[in-house]
Structure 1
Amino acid sequence: MAAEHARVGVDSEFAPLRTMVVARCEFRAPDEADSLGGAMPVPEDAAQVLEAVWGKTFGEVYPDKQRAWEAEREQLAAVLHSHGVEVLRPRLFDDSEKATAGRIGYANFFVRDPWFTVGAHVIEGALQFPHRRMEVLPSRDLLVERVMPAAAAYVSLPRPGAPPLGRRGPGPFLEGGDVLVLGTDIFVGISGMATDELGYQWLAKYLRPFGFTVTAVRLPAHVLHLDCAIGLVRDGLLIACPERLPDGLPEPLRSWEHIDVSEDEAAAMATNGLPIDPGTYITDPEFERVGAELERRGITVEYLDFSVSRLFGGAFRCSTQPLLRED
């Protein structure tokens, strides 16, 4: 194994990107809404699209949209390649995993959430929505191949309690979309829909001996993850939705310059762009206003249409997971 492959770690959300995992595009909806464990946090127009998918795969119902969805991720991978980033992909679910999922359904579409990297620590979390509980499995081969030979730690959150049918269960829950990394400052969103208090406490306890400070950030109940409210662009610059931050920005970020977005823009994923490095940022042309603000501050903005991915309540950050970001 090459030395480059043995390096695993994330210094910050915007440290130069070296190795990135880009998500697949698999979704089989639960047989009925009650088995989902709660409403999916998607815009109203997206909810109308997804209403036809209960008990089916997205591609069965919308083959053209499925192809467009896959093309979005391929285009993202190509842009990352063009910037010298090594791109890895999870595998697809196999037939036995699909059979095990059964009527609950399965998802393999937002690699940001089932596991994440903080410094030199790779952590498997646990997802609240029952149809996403197995989402870590398609990444497991990558983690074994890349993390096991590396100096990085590889740990997992304690397994959540078994959920009653149609409910999420007692946790603990910890999802990567709620975790923002800024050196030894770690921010964890808690809305009740994803990471819970016990998941936050576990992460804080685990990371504390390694010199990290883990700060909880309260979110409104309708906001799935912290990266749907805050996006760190470079040192001293962030994008935020004030309406989604009832207590304001976390203390270490309050002196930063911030580009504010509205609730509607945040719901469409305006904070969920992706820094390649401190001077380069990927977002959707839907957020050209935000892109123009970034360009005024010297950031090069790459635009990619991610309209199908955004139907599922996520965008560029949700669709990726770094294994190596280092200054």
Structure 2
Amino acid sequence: MVANSLQVRVESEFAPLRTVVVSQSEFHAPARADILGHSMPVEPGAVDILEAVWGKDFGEVYPDKQRRFEAEREELAAVLRRHGVEVLRPRLFTDVEKRAAGDAGYANFFVRDPWFTVGDHVIEGVLQFPHRRMEVLPSRDLLWEHVMPSDAHYTALPQPGLAPLGHAGPGPFLEGGDVLVLGKHVFVGLSGMASNGIGYRWLAKYLRPFGFEVTPVRLPAHVLHLDCALSLVRDGLVIACPERLPDGLPAPLRGWEAIEVGEDEAAAMATNGLPIDSATYITDPEFTRVGEQLAARGITVEYIDFSVSRLFGGAFRCSTQPLLRA
């Protein structure tokens, strides 16, 4: 396959995936639970597991799970390559970066959130949880190498206001898990746990001159990101959790067919699959019911066991960041 590295553009959530960044699997928990400010958004069965890692590296506490965590991402990369997708990987954190994190801890496990691509705009966001504030740094080399030589725009949100650990402060906050792209329509999830109103307004102002319409989507307070409630599978078809969309589907999606999932399924990441294109979708065998409904609609479903990745409150979309979908 010819590398697509100098082409940067995302037309939609289901446009053919050509170049993608797949996450690493680093997590050092904050020293104390109160540093987070909110409860850590994790898969429901993970609470007891993660209680053991405050102030510690996940892999040191659970070496077998860490190996599986890394293997899941390698398997995802292999499936994507089999479908002709160019796969890039962020680097790992340096020792200097790890020391600088201090009591806040650090994470390098869901590349969807610290930066994102809308059309031909690559945007560095700002993450609300303190252990994720530095998560963009391991991707910077990729951004220099692949975005800077391209014709794409490259920008970043303003730095967030300062606040003590345990208090998010005013932001602005804008995270890629909240940003879904459908041509010139962009949807931004707002629950208060991740992206906030200032971040949404900044994005709407930035993109407006380029012809984009940015729509806020209200989420319940316990839902981290919009992609934990909604997946755009192909034109006219979504996977959605009605309980997590109190105002229903955003206006541009009304009239689309919806494969509905319940709160328990959504909490386990049933909406966090990944379209490779409009006819191919990746999900976990945990969601075979959803996969069967996709298959009945002519979509090829690739299943990958992502049980460790899902412990951290994310899955396939969270673990990937497209640079080229066109």
TM range (shorter): over 0.9
- Which residue of structure 2 aligns with residue 106 of structure 1? 106
- Indicate if the aligned counterparts of 2:125 and 2:156 stay in contact, CA closer than 8 A: yes
Kindly state the Cα deviation for residue 163 of structure 1 after the two structures are TM-superposed. Answer: 2.0
- Partners of 1:163 and 1:136 in 2: how far apart? 20
Kindly state the Cα deviation for residue 5 of structure 1 after the two structures are TM-superposed. Answer: 2.0
Q: TM-score, normalised to structure 1's length? A: 0.98
- Which residue of structure 2 aligns with residue 77 of structure 1? 77
- Which residue of structure 2 aligns with residue 175 of structure 1? 175
Amino acid at match of 1:87: V
- Partners of 2:219 and 2:323 in 1: how far apart? 27
- Partners of 2:261 and 2:95 in 1: how far apart? 42
- Indicate if the aligned counterparts of 2:44 and 2:267 stay in contact, CA closer than 8 A: no
- Which residue of structure 2 aligns with residue 300 of structure 1? 300
- Which residue of structure 2 aligns with residue 256 of structure 1? 256
> Structure 1: which 5+ runs fail to align?
none
Amino acid at match of 1:81: R
- Which residue of structure 2 aligns with residue 118 of structure 1? 118
Deviations along 1:162-205, one digit per CA (max 9) or x if unpaired, are: 12121111100000000000000000000000000000000000
- Which residue of structure 1 aligns with residue 322 of structure 2? 322
Give the count of matched residue pairs.
325
Kindly state the Cα deviation for residue 3 of structure 1 after the two structures are TM-superposed. Answer: 7.8
Moved over 6 A (4+): none
- Which residue of structure 2 aligns with residue 144 of structure 1? 144
Three-state SS of the structure 1 residue aligned to 2:216 is: strand
Deviations along 1:90-120, one digit per CA (max 9) or x if unpaired, are: 0000000000001110000000000000000
Label 1:47 to 1:3 Cα distance change in 2 as closer, same or farther (>3 A): closer
Three-state SS of the structure 2 residue aligned to 1:233 is: strand
Amino acid at match of 2:87: V
- Partners of 2:130 and 2:26 in 1: how far apart? 15
Kindly state the Cα deviation for residue 4 of structure 1 after the two structures are TM-superposed. Answer: 3.0
- Which residue of structure 2 aligns with residue 265 of structure 1? 265
- Indicate if the aligned counterparts of 2:229 and 2:245 stay in contact, CA closer than 8 A: yes
Give yes or no for the alignment of 1:57 onto 2:64.
no
Three-state SS of the structure 1 residue aligned to 2:249 is: coil
| TM alignment of 1:205-244, pairs within 5 A | 205-244=205-244
- Partners of 1:26 and 1:163 in 2: how far apart? 25
- Indicate if the aligned counterparts of 2:162 and 2:169 stay in contact, CA closer than 8 A: yes
Label 1:240 to 1:60 Cα distance change in 2 as closer, same or farther (>3 A): same
- Partners of 2:319 and 2:269 in 1: how far apart? 12
Deviations along 1:194-241, one digit per CA (max 9) or x if unpaired, are: 000000000000000000000000000000000000000001100000
- Partners of 2:156 and 2:38 in 1: how far apart? 25
Deviations along 1:23-42, one digit per CA (max 9) or x if unpaired, are: 00000001111112221112
Amino acid at match of 2:321: Q
Three-state SS of the structure 2 residue aligned to 1:37 is: coil
Three-state SS of the structure 1 residue aligned to 2:47 is: helix
- Partners of 1:66 and 1:37 in 2: how far apart? 26
- Partners of 2:3 and 2:68 in 1: how far apart? 36
- Partners of 1:177 and 1:60 in 2: how far apart? 28
Amino acid at match of 1:45: G
- Which residue of structure 2 aligns with residue 40 of structure 1? 40
- Which residue of structure 2 aligns with residue 12 of structure 1? 12
- Partners of 1:261 and 1:165 in 2: how far apart? 36
> Structure 2: which 5+ runs fail to align?
none
